[in-house]
Amino acid sequence: MIPAGCINRNESGTPEGGSAADWCDPERQVPQKFRPVFRLTSKDVFASRGWGRGSGFTLTELLVAVAIIGMLAGMALGVYSAVREQARVARTRATVAKIHRLLMERYESFLTRRVPVSAVGLPPRVAALERLLAIRELMRVEMPQSFRDMIAAAPVHSPLQEAYRRRYSQMRPSPENQSAECLFLILTTGPDSARDQFADYEIGDTDGDGWPEFIDGWGRPIRFLRWAPCLIDSDIQPRVVDATGTFNVDLAIEAVKHNYDPFDPWKVDYSLAREGEPNYPPRSWYLIPIVYSAGADGEYGIRDIEYVYASEGSQAVELNWTGPSNPFYFQQGTSRQLNRLGAPVGSGWVDNIHNHRLGQGQ
């Protein structure tokens, strides 16, 4: 029987019509014109390479081939992983640099901020101290590093703080990621909002409390400290602690002498005192806000608000101090306690990406 689609053939097998290419394949019953002219089978390949029946791959050859393929795949994966990590570092550094630029504009604006402090009848240095304390309080509420700062009493009416407070009363944040959420709030609230300078991928809400954070290349919150007097790792701020985080009074005295706080031109909050002497600890060296990513290891490794909250609870000194803000110490009763914010915790800070060392590989 002639299959459908085939051309009729006579008894000798030659076609009665059409060309030879139209001949029907008697085995497959498929018109020849629909089949490729050349058919290369695995049998042909093995035959051409001398790998006929009985001369296939040896086990050794197969193992070598598998090993080479595995090695190449491993190398490709390694290269891909390294490139992806470099991209994360570059992206994080760019975001931190942008935040640094915007934050420093805010920070330095306080150098010329006016506060209505009554100096009538006060000696000049006393009036200068009043002004310094008022400026620090204003910085505290307008550049909060914790929710407690955000709702603290302001020395003057601050529309910016009012906006923060409204947000706080509308939606209470979770205690996690305080400084990261404060940082986002500082740069995106009010008429000077810089929200449009950040891409969506630079913003997240990792704890899902409705308070966004800037996030790094690994998707973790970028944290912030307005004042970190014991910062270990800085190219733009004096360092007064050693690599283990131990406060070094000689370093602090040198820092006060050679890099004094520009917010205090009258040097009314000035001390070179050593332990046991009045006015210990020495102060006030120049402080610059720190903006930091945990880096690839995911460990922040720094004594910050989150660390204090986790290790000491909400009654920690940094979180419950109600007196005038002093970046360098907190006063408990009649004694002064050194403000340790910025001191390293473990070794997790080593790979951090932060604004105090943006110019070097990290």
Binding site for Ca ion (CB under 5 A): 205, 207, 209, 211, 294-295, 297, 299, 348, 351-352
Shortest distance, CB of residue 104 to Ca ion, whole angstroms?
A: 23
Residue nearer to Ca ion on the CB measure, 325 or 352: 352
Shortest distance, CB of residue 312 to Ca ion, whole angstroms?
A: 21
**Contact residues for 41 (Cβ-Cβ < 8 A; gap 6+):** none
Shortest distance, CB of residue 211 to Ca ion, whole angstroms?
A: 4
Residue nearer to Ca ion on the CB measure, 184 or 285: 184
Distance CA 317, CA 332 (A): 8
The sign one gets for the Cα dihedral 114, 106, 238, 244 is positive
Q: How does 187-214 read in b/e, with b if 16+ C-beta sit within 10 Å?
A: bbbeeeebeeebeeebebbebebebbbb
Shortest distance, CB of residue 348 to Ca ion, whole angstroms?
A: 4
Cβ-closest residue to Ca ion?
Answer: 295
Distance CA 181, CA 190 (A): 16
Residue nearer to Ca ion on the CB measure, 294 or 338: 294
Shortest distance, CB of residue 298 to Ca ion, whole angstroms?
A: 7
Residue nearer to Ca ion on the CB measure, 237 or 352: 352
**Contact residues for 39 (Cβ-Cβ < 8 A; gap 6+):** none
The sign one gets for the Cα dihedral 132, 135, 141, 145 is negative
Task: Report whether 330 contacts 339 (CB < 8 A).
Answer: yes
Helix (H) or strand (E) holding 353: strand 353-354
Shortest distance, CB of residue 196 to Ca ion, whole angstroms?
A: 20
Residue nearer to Ca ion on the CB measure, 128 or 232: 232
